[in-house]
């Protein structure tokens, strides 16, 4: 019986190793476009007050249902993206609230807010989009609100990083030709997030020169980094949508993937064209 259990454990260990390697070979898509790309407005400011009255906001155009939001009035100190002369902005956010879960017995648990609750006096960095109907802005995603940390060091570093990304996107082709590899890779990541970060029924080819520069930048990325790092070579490569029709065959050995992918990128940079997802009503930008 003891030897039977040893055999079972060894078999399970081998199976786990095979599953782990198989998962590593699966293309992993990053979480989507950078929050800077998603935002229409990015500001640094201080929460002056929170309005007493909550408002009901529709979820989306032609979609039934609303949700209640609090509204913070933010004094704008600096605009990093968007309307440069903006002095104040009204930001709608959902606060935490208890919910009763039935049955056996009723338990009160907090519903975590999508973003931190804004309070008067807070210094914050906001990534916002304008609501389609009401005169308020909303944080783009869970990380659309960044509150100042006690020392301010992380907060300042975050703002500096945003300014760098804004600079790179101001002239993306020039940034893709930068002598600094980190700038080229960051620009490629931002553009791929814009073009490939969300799905759509229609696609169109992007500019050939831009596509070539993005592929070469991806080849220069860090291929030893974890594949879940949005700036890693593997994460960026997985967004391209490359298939066997494009002459790409993943190597059998997982360890050979980085070299094979870099070789494909450099050999096909001049012929492969990245496709961007577009909405049915979006005009062509070829």
Domain boundaries, the chain: 35-97+105-163, 180-278
Q: What is the pLDDT of residue 66?
A: 87
Which token pair is 172?
């993306």
Report residues of the chain scoring pLDDT below 50. Answer: 1-31, 97-104, 106-113, 282-286
Rounded Cα–Cα distance for residues 186 and 169 (Å): 10
Residue 96: C-alpha distances to residues 69, 99, 118, 142 (Å)? 11, 10, 11, 13
Q: What is the pLDDT of residue 208?
A: 97
Task: Please tell me the CATH code under which domain 35-97+105-163 is placed.
Answer: 2.40.50
Q: What is the pLDDT of residue 141?
A: 76
Q: What is the pLDDT of residue 3?
A: 47
Q: Which residues contact 166 (CB under 8 A, 6 or more apart)?
A: 36, 42, 80, 81
Q: What is the pLDDT of residue 95?
A: 65
Which pTM does this prediction carry?
0.78
Q: What is the pLDDT of residue 65?
A: 84
Q: What is the pLDDT of residue 64?
A: 84
Q: What is the pLDDT of residue 105?
A: 52
Q: What is the pLDDT of residue 209?
A: 97
Q: What is the pLDDT of residue 228?
A: 85
- Residue 57: HSE in the Cβ half-sphere, 13 Å Cα cutoff: 21
Would you say 273 and 194 are in contact if contact means Cβ atoms under 8 Å apart? no
């Amino acid at each position: 019986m003891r030897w039977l259990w040893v055999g079972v454990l060894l078999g399970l260990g081998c199976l786990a190793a095979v599953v782990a390697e198989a998962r590593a070979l699966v293309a992993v898509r990053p979480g989507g476009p950078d929050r800077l790309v998603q935002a229409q407005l990015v500001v640094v400011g201080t929460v002056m007050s929170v309005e007493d009255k909550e408002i009901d906001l529709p979820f989306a155009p032609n979609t039934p249902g609303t949700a209640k939001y609090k509204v913070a009035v933010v004094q704008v100190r600096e605009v990093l993206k968007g309307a440069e002369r903006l002095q104040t902005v009204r930001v709608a956010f959902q606060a935490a609230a208890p919910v009763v879960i039935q049955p056996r017995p009723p338990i009160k648990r907090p519903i975590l807010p999508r973003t931190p609750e804004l309070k008067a006096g807070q210094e914050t960095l906001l990534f916002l989009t304008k609501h389609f109907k009401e005169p308020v802005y909303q944080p783009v995603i869970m990380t659309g609100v960044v509150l100042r940390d006690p020392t301010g060091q992380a907060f300042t570093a975050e703002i500096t990083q945003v300014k760098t990304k804004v600079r790179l996107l101001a002239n993306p082709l020039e940034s893709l030709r930068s002598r600094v590899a980190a700038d080229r890779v960051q620009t490629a990541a931002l553009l791929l997030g814009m073009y490939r970060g969300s799905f759509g029924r229609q696609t169109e080819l992007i500019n050939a020169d831009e596509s070539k520069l993005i592929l070469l930048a991806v080849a220069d990325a860090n291929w030893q980094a974890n594949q879940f790092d949005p700036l890693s070579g593997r994460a960026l490569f997985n967004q391209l949508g490359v298939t066997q029709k494009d002459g790409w065959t993943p190597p059998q050995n997982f360890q050979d993937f980085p070299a094979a992918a870099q070789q494909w990128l450099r050999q096909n940079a001049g012929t492969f064209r990245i496709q961007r997802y577009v909405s049915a009503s979006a005009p062509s930008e070829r």
